Amino acid sequence: MQVLLQLGLSLVLLAPQYTTTAAAPSSQCQRQCGNVDIPYPFGIGVNCSLSKRFTINCTVQDGIHKPFRGDFEVLDISLTHATIRMLNYILGFCYNTSTRSMESVGRYGRRIQIRSGPSSPLRLSDARNKFTVIGCNALAFISDNDTGYQGLGVATCRDPLELVDGSCSGMGCSQTTIPNKIYNYEVGFSTFANTSRIWRFNRCSYAVLMEAAEFKFDVSYINTTKFNDTNAGRAPVVYDWAIRDVVRCDVARRNKTGTYACLSSNSKCVDSTNDQGYMCNCTHGYEGNPYLQDGCTDVNECNYNPCPSDGFCHNIIEEHWCSCRVGKRYVKQSNTCNPDTGFIIGVTMGLFGLMVFIVITIFWGQLIIQKRKLNKVKQEYFRQHGGLLLFDRMKSDKGLAFTVYSLAELIHATDNFDNSRILGKGGHGTVYKGIIKNMPIAVKRCALVDDRQKKEFGQEMLILSQINHKNIVKLLGCCLEVEVPILVYEFVPHGTLFELIHGKNHALQISFNTLLRIAHEAAEGLCFLHSYASPPIIHGDVKTSNILLDDNYMAKVSDFGASILAPSDKEQFVTMVQGTCGYLDPEYMQTCQLTEKSDVYSFGVILLEILTGQLPLKLKGSETQRSLSSIFLSAMKENNLDAVLVSHVKGEESMELLRGLADLAKKCLDMCGDNRPFMKEVADELNRLRKLSMHPWVRIDLEMDAESLLGGESTSGYEIELNGYPMGESENQPINPRSSYYAR
């Protein structure tokens, strides 16, 4: 059985006809309620509106002043479009799980009836409103018994997953247009469609006549009360309003002494497009309220910049006119100030030609001078950095795979050194990714260098360019046209060992065997720099972030020779210690003398990072607890290696292997550089430990009488067999490392 609850809402309920005169409202009338303007012919209070049918009530609701027409809150009133927006009530129809029946939700039950008369100034806007129905089994109707209009809204769905946000074409949501001339209407639900079978995901259906532009379907409306909760169960609806006591404008004009409402002398009458009646608008060139005496005032068109930017605007009644300064004339068709050629040609021909000649001469002269200065500066930089030496050697040695790039080439390759191309930053400079001839490269803008380094730069580039080892990043070329040289390396794509252990690639869970292989490859690269490069090169900044990884995660030592090579033998002492905290050789910090054993110490810290998974230096804690090397050496002294090892490594590898690697790290971290092993010995020991890792069944003969590869007693409980010596050395003549060059 259908339940009918009819409410006679006071939108435009019965009221007296218009008065016989259109009297002007008092200047004391209230023209604003809350944040809403109330323009005449609407008004608040007695004699403040055109008639009682245009009266607005300003009431306090929740401590805030709000305008109402009957039970409907007014949102805004437009004189230009002759519309009034109000909040309409949403009709809800829900399934009650307790009574297992459909029940109305909200203030007005299952149906809403809105009643008014044909003399009401309001008509529902057919252009701006739509009858909106939401639900999965909803059948709602809208009707007007006075005009005979009947409309249906049907919304259906089988599963919420079928619904789409913003789509209101029948699935979960439907919108139906309405005809014009409606002042009475009724909205309700049919009980033939209910949500008893689908209440688990759609308990309620909703219907409302509302402003179409303010609605966008949201899937959450189906399984929540979100739609009904909007504005406390209300939605905006738009009414067209007009003066309805006369049929149209021609009838109203003939009765100007009576109820003709267009009082302003600069107003015009416009027939209503939604039922009989008329509205008033200001004529072209005027703005304001046409329903008031002298309410339409002249529009100052000059406020809207109608004239050219280089012209002048002059406002006059109902229009404006433009002018231009002397020497130009106004062209209305294009709204521009064009030169008055007749005036200009006769006066300025000679002067203009002379000025053009002078400007062009000065411009090209300055361009040539600046270009010469720039070329001179580039040539001076090129000379300072040893560019002539490089070119001579490259001409004489045609097999030298080294390129001297121009600054323009590198700017183009790196998009003018754009920040999005940065691969990394450090104390020695910034590295960018570049593309030259479809080949990726790494471009390094070095930090400042001193005069001695500038003089030796060309020679150093020749030495570094000839280093060709699989575990060392290849130097491809350089640019010498700038104050601080730019280096070009091969591009290594898979980040650094630091990222693999501590950073963004830590989640890859690389096996300990892989980390051991990377360490061995890095040691081979450093060994090559120390023992086989001519002259030998000391890196000077060995750390995990300077060990790059290629596509196969093979190690490549980078950032060597980044700024300078080592001083000559007579200048062994440096004025400023450089490097990275946590990796710096304590002996180097005390003596300011960089040696090959300084690289060995730094490499020992890398071995600690692999064993412990910790950073070389912590900012918090006591002085002894900040340095990873101090923590490790203390643990070794107390025979408590297990306390510092990373947990997954202890479960992955044998303690024999881990003690061997810890013993190697301990020897590298010896405070006295002479007691540390050479990098060749470190590489050989890592190679031996890798074989032990790959073949855990192999054991070293504990009774072998051979000397340990690293010398001295082994703290791991076994001895290491010496399988060979560095190239060019014998058992009786160990390597004598040369420390002529280093990279920092």
Model confidence over 118-132: pLDDT tens digits? 888 999 999 999 999
Which one is predicted more confidently, 713 or 68? Answer: 68
Task: Say if residues 87 and 235 touch (Cβ distance below 8 Å).
Answer: yes
Is residue 205 domain-shared with residue 288, that is, in the same domain? Answer: no
Is residue 544 domain-shared with residue 455, that is, in the same domain? Answer: no
**Residue 28 within any structural domain of the chain:** no
Q: What angle do CA 492, 498, 503 make, to 5 degrees?
A: 105
**Residue 32 within any structural domain of the chain:** no
The span from the CA of 606 to the CA of 613, in Å, is 10
Looking at 467, 491, 515, which one is the last position of a domain? 491
pLDDT at 740 over 70: no
pLDDT-derived band of residue 241, with 50, 70 and 90 as boundaries?
Answer: very high
Is residue 422 domain-shared with residue 498, that is, in the same domain? Answer: no
How many Cβ atoms are within 10 Å of 115's Cβ, its own excluded? 20
Task: Say if residues 618 and 608 touch (Cβ distance below 8 Å).
Answer: no
Mean pLDDT of the chain, nearest integer: 79
pLDDT digits (tens, 9 = 90+) for 575-616: 456 778 888 889 888 888 888 899 999 999 999 999 998 899
Helix/strand/coil for 407: helix
Is residue 660 domain-shared with residue 537, that is, in the same domain? Answer: yes
pLDDT at 447 over 80: no
pLDDT digits (tens, 9 = 90+) for 640-697: 888 888 887 777 778 888 899 999 999 999 999 999 999 999 999 999 998 877 765 5
pLDDT value of residue 667: 95
pLDDT digits (tens, 9 = 90+) for 288-306: 999 998 899 988 888 877 8
The residues pairing with 364 across neighbouring beta strands, listed in sequence order, are: none
**Residue 714 within any structural domain of the chain:** no
Is residue 394 domain-shared with residue 522, that is, in the same domain? Answer: no
pLDDT value of residue 10: 33
pLDDT value of residue 570: 42
Handedness of CA 145, 109, 61, 213 (dihedral sign): negative
The span from the CA of 70 to the CA of 65, in Å, is 15
pLDDT value of residue 4: 31
Reply yes or no on whether 541 is catalytic: yes
Question: What mean pLDDT do residues 692-704 have?
Answer: 51
Question: What mean pLDDT do residues 357-381 have?
Answer: 72
Is residue 574 domain-shared with residue 586, that is, in the same domain? Answer: yes
**Residue 327 within any structural domain of the chain:** no
Question: What mean pLDDT do residues 493-522 have?
Answer: 84
Closest CA to 433 of 522, 548, 578, 554: 548
pLDDT digits (tens, 9 = 90+) for 10-49: 333 333 333 333 567 888 899 999 999 999 999 998 889 9
Question: What mean pLDDT do residues 556-563 have?
Answer: 65
Question: What mean pLDDT do residues 71-83 have?
Answer: 94
Q: Domain total for the chain?
A: 4
Looking at 422, 456, 491, which one is the last position of a domain? 491
Question: What mean pLDDT do residues 301-320 have?
Answer: 82
Question: What mean pLDDT do residues 175-197 have?
Answer: 85
Instruction: Return phi, psi of residue 534, to 5°.
Output: -130, 110
Chain centroid to Cα 428, Å, comes to 30
**DSSP states of 510-559 as a string?**
--HHHHHHHHHHHHHHHHHHHHTSSS--B-S---GGGEEE-TT--EEE--
Is residue 86 domain-shared with residue 175, that is, in the same domain? Answer: yes
**Where is 364: in which H helix or E strand?**
helix 341-384
Instruction: Return phi, psi of residue 221, to 5°.
Output: -65, -25
Is residue 615 domain-shared with residue 556, that is, in the same domain? Answer: yes
pLDDT value of residue 504: 67
pLDDT-derived band of residue 192, with 50, 70 and 90 as boundaries?
Answer: confident
What percentage of the chain carries pLDDT values higher than 90?
A: 32
Which one is predicted more confidently, 591 or 384? Answer: 591
pLDDT-derived band of residue 170, with 50, 70 and 90 as boundaries?
Answer: very high
**Residue 196 within any structural domain of the chain:** yes
Question: What mean pLDDT do residues 408-426 have?
Answer: 88
pLDDT value of residue 118: 82
**Where is 684: in which H helix or E strand?**
helix 679-694
Q: How many Cα atoms within 13 Å fall on the side-chain side of residue 288?
A: 20
pLDDT at 549 over 90: yes
Closest CA to 661 of 720, 716, 624, 702: 716
Closest CA to 546 of 516, 521, 522, 511: 522
CATH of the domain at 430: 3.30.200.20
Is residue 459 domain-shared with residue 554, that is, in the same domain? Answer: no
On whether 444 is known to bind a ligand per the annotation, the reply is yes
pLDDT at 568 over 60: no
Is residue 135 domain-shared with residue 191, that is, in the same domain? Answer: yes
The span from the CA of 537 to the CA of 526, in Å, is 9
Is residue 447 domain-shared with residue 520, that is, in the same domain? Answer: no
Is residue 694 domain-shared with residue 574, that is, in the same domain? Answer: yes
pLDDT-derived band of residue 710, with 50, 70 and 90 as boundaries?
Answer: very low
pLDDT at 417 over 50: yes
pLDDT digits (tens, 9 = 90+) for 130-167: 999 999 888 999 998 888 899 999 999 888 888 999 99
pLDDT value of residue 345: 75
Cis peptide bond prior to 535, omega within 30° of 0:
yes
pLDDT-derived band of residue 738, with 50, 70 and 90 as boundaries?
Answer: very low
Task: Say if residues 596 and 461 touch (Cβ distance below 8 Å).
Answer: no
The span from the CA of 373 to the CA of 381, in Å, is 12
Looking at 264, 283, 298, which one is the last position of a domain? 298
**Where is 316: in which H helix or E strand?**
strand 311-316
Instruction: Return phi, psi of residue 307, to 5°.
Output: -100, 165
**Residue 188 within any structural domain of the chain:** yes
pLDDT value of residue 245: 85
**Residue 737 within any structural domain of the chain:** no
Question: What mean pLDDT do residues 101-124 have?
Answer: 76
pLDDT at 453 over 70: no
Lowest mean pLDDT among 207-211, 476-480, 600-604, 635-639: 476-480
Q: Which of the 8 DSSP states describes residue 136?
A: S
pLDDT-derived band of residue 66, with 50, 70 and 90 as boundaries?
Answer: very high
pLDDT-derived band of residue 114, with 50, 70 and 90 as boundaries?
Answer: confident
pLDDT at 454 over 80: no
End-to-end CA distance of the chain: 91
pLDDT value of residue 731: 34
Instruction: Return phi, psi of residue 480, to 5°.
Output: -110, 10
Alpha helices (H) in 209-280, listed in sequence order: 220-223, 226-229, 249-253
To 10 degrees, what angle do helices 341-384 and 387-396 make? 70
The span from the CA of 252 to the CA of 424, in Å, is 80
pLDDT value of residue 379: 62
Q: Residue 128 sits in which domain range? A: 73-241
Active-site option among 144, 240, 245, 541: 541
The span from the CA of 242 to the CA of 271, in Å, is 9
How many Cβ atoms are within 10 Å of 384's Cβ, its own excluded? 17
pLDDT value of residue 242: 94
pLDDT-derived band of residue 707, with 50, 70 and 90 as boundaries?
Answer: very low
Q: Which residues contact 91 (CB under 8 A, 6 or more apart)?
A: 104, 106, 108, 110, 111, 112, 140, 187, 188, 189, 206, 207, 208
Query: Mean pLDDT: which of 144-153, 169-178, 193-202, 292-301 is highest?
Result: 169-178
Question: What mean pLDDT do residues 55-69 have?
Answer: 92
**Residue 220 within any structural domain of the chain:** yes
CATH of the domain at 507: 1.10.510.10
pLDDT value of residue 151: 93
The span from the CA of 199 to the CA of 208, in Å, is 21
The span from the CA of 412 to the CA of 441, in Å, is 12
